[in-house]
Structure 1
Amino acid sequence: AGLIAGWVYWLTFGQAAAVGPKTTFGWFHAGISELFYTAMIAFAHLNCAASPRNNPKFDQNSFFGLAIGFVVVAAGYATGDVSGALLNPAVTLGLDVTGAGGTGKGGPWWRLAYLAFQFLGAGLAPLLFHLCRFREAENTRGGPGGPGTRSLQVQVLSATNLANRDSGLLGDVSDPYVTVRLGLQEYRTPTINNNLNPVWSTGNTFTFSLPEEGEPGHLSLEVLNDNLVVKEQSLGTLAVDLRHVSHNEWRRDRDILVGGKGGELQYALRINAGSDLGGGRKPSLPSMVASEFIGTFILCLTVGLNVVMKSPVTAWSAAAALMSMIYSVGSVSGGHFNPAVTLGAVLSGRGVCPVWHGMFYWSVQLLAGVMAGLLVSDFHQEGPYRFEPFDLAPGKSVQAAGATYSWWCVLVAEGAFTFMLAFVVLAVATTKPLPGPSSQNFQFALAIGSCVTAGGLAIGSLSGGSLNPAVSAGLSISGLVNNGSLAWLPNYAVVEFVGGAVAAVAFRATHTAEYGK
Structure 2
Amino acid sequence: MELSLSRRTAAEFLGTFWLVLGGCGSAVLSAAVPGLGIGFAGVALAFGLAMLTMAYAVGHISGAHFNPAVTLGMMVGGRFPARDLLPYILAQVAGAIVAAGILFVIASGSAGFAVGDGFASNGYGAHSPGGYSLVASLVAEIVLSFGFVVVVLGATDLRAPIGFAPLAIGFALTLVHLIGIPVTNVSVNPARSTGPALFVGGGALSQLWLFWLAPLAGGALAGALYPVLVGARPARAAVAPRSTV
Q: Tell me whether 1:406 sits opposite 2:133 in the alignment.
A: yes
More helix as a share of residues: 2
1:316 corresponds to which of 14, 36, 45: 45
**Percent identity over the alignment?**
29
Q: Which digits, 9 at most, give the CA deviation of each residue in 1:11-52, with x for residues without a partner?
A: xxxxxxxxxxxxxxxxxxxxxxxxxxxxxxxxxxxxxxxxxx
1:472 matches 2:202? no
Matched, 1:432 2:158: yes
Structure 2 runs not aligned, ≥5 long: 32-38, 236-245
Larger strand fraction of residues = 1
CA contact (8 A) 1:308 1:385 kept: no
Cα distance in 1 between the residues matched to 2:101 and 2:227: 38
The answer to whether the 8 A contact 2:93-2:191 is kept is: yes
The structure whose Rg is larger is: 1
Structural RMSD (CA):
1.9
Q: Could you report, residue by residue, the CA deviation over 1:356-402 in whole angstroms, capped at 9, with x for unpaired residues?
A: 112210110111112212222223322354135114213243xxxxx
CA distance in 1, matches of 2:104, 2:30: 14
Q: 1:302 aligns with which of 22, 27, 40?
A: 22
1:376 and 2:103 aligned: yes
CA distance in 2, matches of 1:421, 1:407: 21
Q: Give the structure 1 partner of residue 229 of structure 2.
A: 510
Distance change (3 Å), C-alpha of 1:360 and 1:396: closer
* TM-score in terms of structure 2 length: 0.83
- Size of the alignment, in residue pairs? 220
Query: What is the one-letter code of the residue matched to 2:23?
Result: V
Does the alignment pair 1:333 with 2:59? no
Unmatched segments (≥5 aa) in structure 1: 1-280, 398-403, 435-439
> How far did residue 484 of structure 1 move?
6.0
Residues 384 and 304 from structure 1, CA distance in 2 versus in 1: closer, same or farther, beyond 3 angstroms? farther
> In the TM superposition, what are the counterparts of 1:61-140 in structure 2 within 5 Å?
none
State the distance in 2 between where 1:332 and 1:396 align: 36
Shift in Å, 1:495:
0.5
d(CA) in 2 for partners of 1:307 and 1:292?
22
Which of residues 118, 123, 142 in structure 2 aligns to 1:393? 123
Distance change >3 Å, CA 484–CA 384, structure 1 → 2: farther
Letter in 1 for 2:9: V
Q: Displacement of 1:320 after TM fit?
A: 0.5
Is 1:496 aligned with 2:215?
yes
Q: In 1, are the aligned partners of 2:158 and 2:234 still within 8 Å (CA)? A: no
Q: Could you tell me how far apart the structure 1 residues matched to 2:112 and 2:188 are? A: 24
Deviation at 1:343, TM superposition (A): 0.2
Query: How far 1:513 moved relative to its partner?
Result: 2.8
Question: 1:461, CA displacement in angstroms?
Answer: 1.4
Aligned-residue offset at 1:508: 2.1
